[in-house]
Amino acid sequence: MKRFPLFKLLFVILFVSVSLDAWAQGFQRVTNADDLFSVGGGARALGMGGAHVALVQDVTAGFWNPAGLSGITNRELAYMHSERFGGIVAYDYGAFAMPLRNEGDALAITFFRQGVDGIKNTLNAWDRERDRPLANPQDFITEFSSADMAFLVSYATRYNEQLSWGTSVKLLYSRLGPFAQGFGYSVDVGGQYRSGRFMAGATIHNLTTLMKLWSVNESELEPLRDFFSDEALNASFPTGQNELSLPSLRSGVAYFWDIQDFRVLGAFDMVTHFEGRRTYYVNAGPVSFQPHVGTEVSYKEAVFVRLGVTDVFTDSSSRLYASPTLGAGLNIGIVKIDYAFSSFAGANSNLGYTHRVSANIGF
C-alpha cells in the first residue's frame, strides 16, 4: 500500500489551499471562470449525459476523475472536436496518457480549447474627424479570435486493489483578441473505488479554488473613446481584474450487469456547487445540485449504444427541463470511435444541436 505519498500530497494541497485563501482576499468571486470545462472530454461520457466519474478508466480520466488513469495498461491518445451554435463556437479536446513503471501509476496530459474565430474588428475603419466610415473600410477591418484554453497534467496511482486516487494541475489561458488576456490555475483531486460490478468515484474540481488574473490592453481599445462621452467611457471602460471560482464536487456511482454477450451499464453523477447558483433543480441555500444520468449497452465490448440525461434545471415557474443525450461507439482493435448527440439547453432549444465525435487510440 502507498500510504505515505497520499498523505504527503494531501498535506501539500491543504497547505497551499490555506495559503491561497489568505492571499485571495483581493479576488472577485465569479461562477463562470471554468466554463471551458462544462462540455468535458470524450464522446462516450457525453453520450451518457456526463455520468462518468465512477466508471472512467481511460485517457479521458485526466478531466473526469484523475484516479481513473490508474486503470490504463497501454499508452492512449484521444481527440474530440465539436461545434455549437451552428458552427460559431468550436471546441477541441486532446489527451495523452501512459502507464508508469510501478503498476497502477499513470501520467496524462490534457488540452482544451473553446473559441470563436474570425470576429471582425471594425474599430479602425471609422473616420473619426468626419464621423462616418472610411472610404475603403475593408482595408482597415481585421479579424481576431476569442478563445479559452486549458492544459492539465495528471497523475494517478493505485492505493490497493479496490481504491485509487489521482490529481490534476490545471493551467488556463483566455484571450479576447488583442484586447485582453487572462491566466488561471487550480488543482483537482479524485478518488475511485471498485468492487466487483459496483463502482464509485468523486472528484473535487478546483480544490485550491480557481484563480484567474485578467489584464487589458488599453491602447487597443483607445478608438472607443470617439464613440462615447468621457463620463460614460470612464464608467464602463474595461480594466483588468482578479477572479476566483470556488471548488465543486462531482460524485457518482455505477453498476453493470452481464447478460450473455451483452453488458448493461448504469451510471449516476451529482455535481455539487457552492457558489449560490439557483438555476438547478435542487438548491439548499448557496449549495446547488446538478444530476447526470447515463446508461450504456455493449455487445461483446465491440459495439456500444448510449443514452443519458443532463442539464437538469427549472425556470422561474418551477417547470423542469432536461437535455437528453444519445451516443454510439465502435471498438476496432486498438481504435475506439465514439459519437454523441445532444441539444444545447434542452430538446426545445432554438440554439441548435451538437454532434461530437472522438477517437481513442491505444498503442
Whole-angstrom distance, CA of residue 193 vs CA of residue 203: 12
- pLDDT-wise least confident of 5-14, 34-43, 83-92, 336-345: 5-14
Position 66, amino acid? P
Does residue 305 form part of some domain? Answer: no
First to last CA, the chain: 29
Phi-psi label, residue 345: left if phi above 0, alpha if psi -120 to 50, beta otherwise = left
Does residue 349 form part of some domain? Answer: no
Does residue 217 form part of some domain? Answer: yes
pTM of the entire structure?
0.82
Q: Are 76 and 362 in contact (CB under 8 A)?
A: yes
Does residue 58 form part of some domain? Answer: yes
The answer on pLDDT for 4 being more than 50 is: no
In terms of Cα–Cα distance, which of 213, 152, 179 is closest to 30?
A: 213
In terms of Cα–Cα distance, which of 157, 85, 152, 77 is closest to 117?
A: 85
| DSSP structure string for 112-148 | EEEEEEEEEE-GGGEETTTTEE-SSGGGT-EEEEEEE
Does residue 99 form part of some domain? Answer: yes
Q: Are 74 and 363 in contact (CB under 8 A)?
A: yes
Question: What's the Cα-to-Cα distance from 287 to each of 272, 276, 300, rounded to whole Å?
Answer: 7, 6, 42
Does residue 144 form part of some domain? Answer: yes
Does residue 79 form part of some domain? Answer: yes
The answer for residues whose C-beta is within 8 angstroms of residue 345's C-beta and 6 or more apart is 311, 323, 351
Q: How many domains does the chain have?
A: 1
Does residue 196 form part of some domain? Answer: yes
Average pLDDT value for residue range 282-308 = 90
Q: Mean pLDDT, the chain, as a whole number?
A: 82
The answer on pLDDT for 335 being more than 60 is: yes
CB atoms within 10 A of CB 76: 24
Domain that holds residue 176: 3-259
The answer on pLDDT for 34 being more than 90 is: no
User: Which of the pair, 349 or 102, is modelled with greater confidence?
Assistant: 102
